[in-house]
Amino acid sequence: MSAQHPRTIELEVATPGVDAQGRPVRVPVPAPAGLPAEPDLGGEHLLVNLGPQHPATHGVLRLVVELDGETVIRVIPHIGYLHSGFEKLGEYRHYNQIIPLTDRTDYLSPMANNVCLAMAVEQLMGITITPRCTVLRVIACEMSRIISHLVWLGTTSIDLGAFTPFLWAFQERERIYNLQEQWTGARLTTSLTRVGGMLADIPNGFVENLREFTRTFPKTLEEIDRVLTRNAVWAGRTQGIGVMTAEEAINYSLSGPMLRASGVPWDLRKDQPYLGYETYDFEVPVGEHGDVFDRYLVRLEECHQANRILAQALDRLPDGPINVDDPRVILPPKSRAMSDMEAMIYHFKQVMEGVKAPVGETYCGIENPKGELGYYFVSDGTAKPVRWRIRPPSFINLAAISKMAEGHLLSDLIAINASVDIVMGEIDR
């Protein structure tokens, strides 16, 4: 909220003054265009509180909306209702112990977070993973992309009045959940990766089941497409709503489908590739208008592309070990740890002391379904990080909502809020 307009509203109470510590004080309130200068309008504007408990806010988000009739003059988001102290907790955990924490930040795409964390720590420690592990991680990331976008599709449809796509989307999610459960034992909190490798190799039948999924998934997407895309209500409620131009999107540090729908062709998988994404054949959908409809189209197409990547990854899955062959980083097999003294000592040291990272820092960003998820680690040579920073894509994307919603109607605000694709666990951490 830059103070470009000269009008301020004087609050006629004694407010805590500005002190040397800069404690929060009254903020000059800029006048939106078209409003008269005198503040004695007496009841023409409404201050409405949306949330934090509200079916349409996708988690515990609170929006305080200043309304002129149905038109949104200003929206002030309040977050922090799910603040769980992740970054503080990370300072008291070994690097492998942080992996279960990452499931719970963006709980709609847990495997992608696990992969990002393992990549960040491996970057910090200078470990190169095996080829099979690389392809498996790509599979994990793309599966996560699909389930995250399916939740988005389902919940956005509910917000805009269409209930059935929610059920279709969640039915497809159940199929991915079955695969996740086969692989990791858990439907949602997968904790899939370890530093230097994975929790476990894929079980028998996984490849066939996933291939079957990639074969039938596009049909569901086409059903959803048929119901929504050319629907007059859907198009009417989403086209031209919540527009962000490309320059604004870059300036607000948006990422992911929010950025691409505004016409900026930036995708970390193509522009700063990792995990061998430059060797896969896929397209990145880029929008034109930067409105809610474009974001919907971008995410729908990303599901198709993710499906395509999955099929390619399954074809090229190499044999070999999934874990790096370094006993200081990877736990030895239990049978060896019980019989061989050296293996037992390695096992003991890793479990009791954790794996020490070299002194230094690193930032690792990947293309999460919501945007650019980044983990920034600072290490002082011990097994627990000095600082673990999560660069949350939804947090930064949500900050732009006050820009996007001004001048729209209240029901458009719901559509815009849905289009940001937020997950409060990641925003509040």
Site string for other proteins, 365-384 (x = CB under 8 A): x------x-x-x-x-x-xxx
Q: Does 240 bind other proteins (CB under 8 A)?
A: no
Q: Which of 207, 227, 235, 250 binds other proteins (CB under 8 A)?
A: 250
Reduce the secondary structure of the chain to three states and give it as a string.
Answer: CCCCCCCCCCCCCCCCCCCCCCCCCCCCCCCCCCCCCCCCCCCCCEEEEECCCCHHHCCCCEEEEEEECCEEEEEEEECCCCCCCHHHHHCCCCHHHHHHHHHCCCCCCHHHHHHHHHHHHHHHHCCCCCHHHHHHHHHHHHHHHHHHHHHHHHHHHHHCCCCHHHHHHHHHHHHHHHHHHHHHCCCCCCCCEECCEECCCCCCCHHHHHHHHHHHHHHHHHHHHHHHCCCHHHHHHHCCCCCCCHHHHHHCCCCCHHHHHCCCCCCHHHHCCCCCHHHCCCCCCCCCCCCHHHHHHHHHHHHHHHHHHHHHHHHHCCCCCCCCCCCCCCCCCHHHHHHCHHHHHHHHHHHHHCCCCCCEEEEEEEEECCEEEEEEEEECCCCCCCEEEEECHHHHHHCCHHHHHCCCEHHHHHHHHHHCCCCHHHHHC
Which one of the spans 95-103, 209-217, 234-242, 329-337 is the region binding other proteins (CB under 8 A)? Answer: 95-103
Q: Which of residues 52-81 bind other proteins (CB under 8 A)?
A: 52-55, 59-60, 64, 66, 74, 76, 78-81
Q: Which of residues 392-411 bind other proteins (CB under 8 A)?
A: 395-396, 398-400, 403
Least distance to other proteins, CB of residue 206, Å: 20
Q: Does 235 bind other proteins (CB under 8 A)?
A: no
Q: Does 254 bind other proteins (CB under 8 A)?
A: yes
Q: Which of residues 154-213 bind other proteins (CB under 8 A)?
A: 166-167, 170-171, 173-174, 177, 187-189
Q: Does 257 bind other proteins (CB under 8 A)?
A: no
Least distance to other proteins, CB of residue 13, Å: 4
Q: Which of residues 272-331 bind other proteins (CB under 8 A)?
A: 272
- Name the residue nearer to other proteins (CB basis): 158 or 207: 158
Q: Which of residues 113-142 bind other proteins (CB under 8 A)?
A: 123-124, 126
Q: Does 48 bind other proteins (CB under 8 A)?
A: no
Number of residues in contact with other proteins under rule CB under 8 A: 108
Q: Which of 291, 294, 421, 428 binds other proteins (CB under 8 A)?
A: 428
- Name the residue nearer to other proteins (CB basis): 54 or 304: 54
Q: Does 344 bind other proteins (CB under 8 A)?
A: no
